[in-house]
Amino acid sequence: MLNKNDQPDVNATSSETNIHTDFKNNMTYGEYLQLDKILSAQRRLSGHHDEVLFIVIHQVSELWMKLILHEMHSAIESITNDDLSSAFKKLARVSKTQSQIIQAWDVLSTMTPSEYMEFRDSLGQASGFQSYQYRMIEFALGYKTPHVLKIYEKDPELLVELKKAYEAPGLYDVAIRALHKAGLAIDEEVLNRDVTRTYQENETIRQAWTTVYRNPKQYWDLYELAEKLVDIEDWLQQWRFRHMKTVERIIGFKMGTGGSSGVGYLKKVLDQRFFPELWDIRTIL
């Protein structure tokens, strides 16, 4: 805290006699967080001032996505083990993290088209479209597209991890199994479906969730699980929308650096649904 002369308030710190100042033989805050690696990773390929902003925003977003995946995978395991209360905490954290990653677009949108054009060519074909963590989030949500795996053939070890995520049951798969365990009628073809294929909506799932929502006291845990899933899809779509509008604001309808149609592609993915029955029942009820 600063005093009236904008000088450090030495009285505030001098009274704290237990503050550690000797770190010759102890781990520091910076060492624990490996800040030397993190803060030296913003290497510009151009000399433009705003490239630092561009790099930091994307690096921060990837760190948030790492946390989202950490919590999602743990929530999937908890639901599989019938520990729904533990899953709720993790899924709530996912939603809060999503709110942070959405706000990153507000910071990036302070960059103007003229400023971005000064260094865009330096990116080559690198694009957020290639974010492997974003693909793993899609996989965890049940959206499986095998053709995207080709992007990662350059890194065999990463490709192995992606294939593992691609072949694993998603969040909705384990939620559907929770419906089945609760005694709700679910088609066997859904319970035994090939999880490497994108989920397709099913009438028995729609009826099961309708039963849950019409009897929340009887199925309280499933009711709460459903709302946690709706939160996550809602926030993801908001992230996608802010992404699309930020891209439109900065580059208009130019093709993306990764070869996509840019804004056109981003508008199309807004129509994707991960938990379709949970949205359908809003009309049914």
**Is 197 assigned a ligand-binding role in the annotation?**
no
57 a known binding residue? yes
| 243 in a labelled binding site | yes
Q: What are 78's two structure tokens?
A: 């908890």
Q: In sequence order, what DSSP letters do the residues of 98-143 get, joined into one string?
A: HHHHHHHHHHHTTS-HHHHHTTGGGGTT--GGG-HHHHHHHHHTT-
The whole-angstrom separation of Cα 29 and Cα 252 is 42
> Sign (positive/negative) of CA torsion 51, 65, 36, 160?
negative
For residue 28, count CB atoms less than 10 angstroms from its CB and return exposed for 0-12, middle for 13-18, buried for 19 or more. exposed
Cα–Cα distance measured from residue 213 to residue 219, given in angstroms and rounded to the nearest whole number: 8
Query: Do the annotations mark residue 143 as ligand-binding?
Result: no
Closest alpha carbon to 135 in 155, 157, 151: 151
Is position 120 annotated in a ligand binding site?
A: yes
Q: In this structure, are residues 163 and 149 in contact, taking their beta carbons and an 8 Å threshold?
A: yes
- Contact in structure between 129 and 243 (CB atoms under 8 Å): no
The response to whether 205 counts as a known ligand-binding position is no
The annotation status of 116 as a binding-site residue, yes or no, is: yes
Give the residue numbers of the binding site for substrate: 54-58, 116, 120, 257
Cite the annotated binding site for heme by residue number. Answer: 243
Question: Which residues are documented as binding site?
Answer: 54-58, 116, 120, 243, 257
